Amino acid sequence: MQIRISQTLMFTPEDQNFVAFNYLTKSVFGCTSETMGFLSMLSDWHTKDAAEQLLPTVDKEEMKENIQHLLDATAIVEENSTLSDAENEFERSWGWGIPAAIFHFSLNDKSYLSIEDVQANQTLKIAHTPSPNLHTTNEKYENVIDLDSSLKDNDLLQLMSRRRTIREVNKTPITRKQLSDCLFAGMGITGHTHNNIVQLPLSMTPSGGARNPYEAYVYARNVEGLEPGFYHYSALEHSLGRMPAKDLPNPSDLLAGQYWADDMPCIILLAAMLERSMWKYADANAYRGALIEAGHIGQNIMVAATKHELTACPTAAFCHSALHDCLEISGATQTAVYALCLGSPKKDDSIVMYQ
Ligand SMILES: Cc1cc2nc3c(=O)[nH]c(=O)nc-3n(C[C@H](O)[C@H](O)[C@H](O)COP(=O)(O)O)c2cc1C
């Protein structure tokens, strides 16, 4: 068996030593300068035997133990292991440098607090730190111009103003037409253009360089005319492809334990195929662009849902590995970004709507 230092480590100083972070595995571990020295000797593949002999002053048994600790911490990796495959895939496909990679990988599969815990934390926090203002006024300006009412006589804005996130829904199924309209509004291809090299798809939402980095999937649980299961939406064909049947998890097992999602009859999942944007843009700012695009698509889906008197609850809190398995996406550059949970909303008396 051959080993070498992991290719996805970063180090920060702490108390005359270092804290190491493997952004692919999210492993964090303390590291002395001696350990760092040893790791630097493993930049090429070594057999375990050869690695054990790199520090001749250290007892062989102790070296064996230390190497095992470093393997467990993913500071070093074994050749042909799942982890070395993931590193190779990362090196081969990731084009946006290390800072964006740290953000991209280390936020996957986070553990989330429950709604109750988040609420309790806010109650504790407000006792010593007031919340920042959630809106501003023009109070400080001498000249303030009142604008005309926008909702009056404007059907589009009235529709948009009715969009709400309502997490309690009725047991009513979603119709195929409702789902179709939501998918088309968010993702449908409505034209194309050309640049100097390729044909570029155009849709109702803007896309950086028209690179169209999103694919949509549907988790149908109670949709008229659709067997429960996962489907891929082809925006080009405006069709749903049934994915091979497998166990159907509770939505909350995919959406970071959010139990309200278990009552939702249908979930649209947006996954970024970042390689489409990366192919054109070497600048990691394109990563920001790709995330912004999920917002555009999500908003259109939500407005279409509102038109059908549905709620489309958005969430970006995922159990990424489980979700990626369901969507059959893998690799360094493919990731679930946003989900819209469709349902017929119950009345929510806590909401005050302005006219
Ligand atoms: C990017 C994004 C992520 C969100 N994630 C969650 C989430 O994980 N869970 C949730 O219950 N709501 C989530 N929401 C919904 C917000 O809580 C909701 O939009 C907010 O309370 C305002 O309500 P409204 O959508 O009715 O205007 C998210 C919204 C956005 C824009």
Beta strands (DSSP E) in 23-145 are: 27-31, 46-47, 76-78
Kindly list the structural domains of the chain, giving each domain's residue range(s) and its CATH number in brackets, ordered by start. Answer: 2-93 (3.90.930), 155-343 (3.40.109.10)
pTM of the model: 0.95
Distance CA 311, CA 162 (A): 10
Q: What is the pLDDT along the chain (355 residues), one digit of tens a residue?
A: 899 999 999 999 999 999 999 999 999 999 999 999 999 999 999 999 999 999 999 999 999 999 999 999 999 999 999 999 999 999 999 999 999 999 999 999 998 999 899 999 999 999 999 999 999 999 999 999 999 999 999 999 999 999 999 999 999 999 999 999 999 999 999 999 999 999 999 999 999 999 999 999 999 999 999 999 999 999 999 999 999 988 999 999 999 999 999 999 999 999 999 999 999 999 999 999 999 999 999 999 999 999 999 999 999 999 999 999 999 998 899 999 999 999 999 999 999 988 7
CA-nearest residue for atom 8, ligand 1, is: 315
The whole-angstrom separation of Cα 253 and Cα 273 is 23
Is residue 97 classed as helix, strand or coil in its secondary structure?
A: helix
Question: Nearest 10 degrees: CA dihedral of 173, 293, 86, 92?
Answer: 140
How close is the Cα of 166 to the center of ligand 1, in Å? 10
Residue nearest to atom 25 of ligand 1 (CA): 165
Spatial CA neighbour of 243 closest among 263, 220, 260, 266: 220
Ligand 1: nearest atom to the Cα of 115 = 11
Write out pLDDT tens, residues 225-243.
999 999 999 999 999 999 9
Ligand 1 geometric centre to CA of 173 (Å): 22
Q: What is the pLDDT of residue 355?
A: 73
Q: How far is the CA of 71 from the centre of ligand 1 (A)?
A: 40
SS3 163: coil
Q: How far apart are CA 270 and CA 214, in angstroms?
A: 6
Given this model, what pLDDT does residue 119 score?
94
Atom 10, ligand 1: residue with shortest CA distance: 315
CA of 101 to the centre of ligand 1 (A): 25
Pocket test for ligand 1, best of 110, 165, 166, 254 (most atoms within 8 A of CB): 165
How much distance in Å is there from the Cα of 316 to the middle of ligand 1?
A: 9
* Residues in CB range of 193: below 8 A, 6 or more apart: 199, 200, 202, 210
Residues within 6 Å of ligand 1 by CB: 164-165, 167, 258, 314-317
User: What is the tens place of the pLDDT at every residue in 237-279?
Assistant: 999 999 998 899 999 999 999 999 999 999 999 999 999 999 9
Is the Cβ–Cβ distance between 251 and 267 less than 8 Å?
yes
Residue identifier of the C-alpha nearest atom 23 of ligand 1 = 165
